[in-house]
Structure 1
Amino acid sequence: MTKAQPSDSELWKLIQLDNNKAFDLLFNRYWSAVYTTSFTYLKDQEACTELVHDIFLNIWRNRHSLEVTSFKNYLTTASRYQVYKLIKRGKLNPIVLVDEYDALPDSSYVVNQGEEKIRYQEMENSIELVLAKLPKKCKEIFMLSRFDNLSNQEIADKLGISKRTVENQITIALKALRISIKAILYSIIFFNI
């Protein structure tokens, strides 16, 4: 007997609670529909793939503020809107065949923006995971320092602890983040070449 698949609304509630697996299920359920809808208008595989990733990346980033009642309708509307924006801006870059790639101006500055967005999101997710694994007080101190821009003395006063404790906790958090970031950079450099 097969297990019943969760509904879109059940998945959305889990996604709003930062559940990556629920997001993966939703992505796998709808990415081809979004791709097909956009391909109908654009006839460009790369642009459609980037469009799909942008839509789902936007959903993940705004999961706490988005109000979605019907995912099918939301994604259809979002893909049509993105297609419209691409066509209006003329962002579809025609493929140009060149004999001498090195002769192209500024060829060293060509960047795949979709790939960069994905790498940034991976880095952001990894940082969130590292912060989530920190002890509660360590995480709180780090967040006050780095996100609320409080000085070590201000944090110490606010939490009723010594300035030295604040410094130690920030050092622990930074060490954990450095290890995580090194691992991410290693995987980007050696596996995404």
Structure 2
Amino acid sequence: MSANRIQFIEFNDEELFSEIKLDNHQAFEELYRRYFYRLLNDAYKRLHDRDQSEELVQELFVNLWSKRHQILLAKTFDAYFHTSLRNAVISFFRKNNKVAEYPADYTEQEAGQVTYEEITYNDLKTAYEQSVQELPEKCRHAYELFETGLSIQEIATETNVSPKTIESHLLKARNVIRQQLREYSLVCTSLFLTIFGQSLDLL
């Protein structure tokens, strides 16, 4: 476990969110780990559909990240997620003209499915990190600089190459990483790359 991960484990939710507002990916990942499976359980109780539940919860986190600078917490993060999930479920049923059912508990099989999802996420993160490391050196260097927030022009200036060359490196990185992660579910991969591989969706 990395030193940064240990550090953020000790943060409370509000402290994590303060870091997220500063665009800290690792703080977001820690908040994601704390709440994703709890929210997935709650969504599944109402939707009775694994894929739809996962998609709905993933969208909550995508919205959290994309609106991180505008969100003002009136209560706790647990209350924020509970309200967000409730509104998302209501919108889903209204859109699909369905009536919600609320099972009391999970079965043993469903609990096992959540464990499987956690393993899948960890595998995806490892695969992503490995795919980045396996990029050609110049391509990887450009990609890693872009992930720190530098623009194409800034990277070109720092590396003393043309912007078109940097753009070519980033496009190659996008294609290679997406290809290597193709075995994972589209929803899970899309969220992961939106948060932890932003450059892939900026070109």
TM-score normalised to structure 1 length:
0.58
The answer to whether structure 1 residue 80 and structure 2 residue 70 are counterparts is no
Q: Distance in 2 between matches of 1:62 and 1:128?
A: 24
Change (3 A) 1:132 1:80: same
Please list every run of 5 or more consecutive structure 2 residues that lacks an aligned counterpart in the other structure.
1-5, 99-127, 129-142, 184-203
Q: RMSD value over aligned CA atoms? A: 3.3
Instruction: In structure 1, list runs of 5 or more residues that go unmatched.
Output: 93-121, 143-164
Pair 1:89-2:89 in alignment: no
Please tell me whether residue 175 in structure 1 is matched to residue 149 in structure 2.
no
Q: Deviations over 1:128-170 (max 9, x none)?
A: 93573459xx44xx9xxxxxxxxxxxxxxxxxxxxxx9xxx9x
Change (3 A) 1:130 1:8: closer
**Conserved in 2, the CA contact under 8 Å of 1:51 and 1:82?**
yes
CA-CA distance at 1:23 after TM superposition: 0.2
- Change in CA separation of 1:63 and 1:129 when aligned onto 2, cut-off 3 Å: farther
Point out the more displaced range, 53-62 or 172-181. 172-181
Q: Match of 2:162, SS?
A: helix
> Percent of counterpart pairs with the same letter?
23
Which structure has more relative contact order (CA 8 Å, sep 6+)? It is 2
8 Å CA contact retained: 1:37, 1:80: no
**Deviation string for 1:4-50 (max 9, x for gaps)?**
61011110011011100000000000111211221121111111100
Aligned counterparts of 1:127 and 1:87: Cα–Cα separation in 2:
41
Structure 1 pair 24/184, CA: closer, same or farther in 2 (3 Å)?
A: same
Give the Cα separation in 2 of the matches to 1:65 and 1:127. 27
Larger Rg, first or second structure (1 or 2): 1
What is the count of residue pairs matched by the alignment? 131
Match 2:176 to one of 148, 165, 186: 186
Q: Secondary structure at the match of 1:132?
A: coil
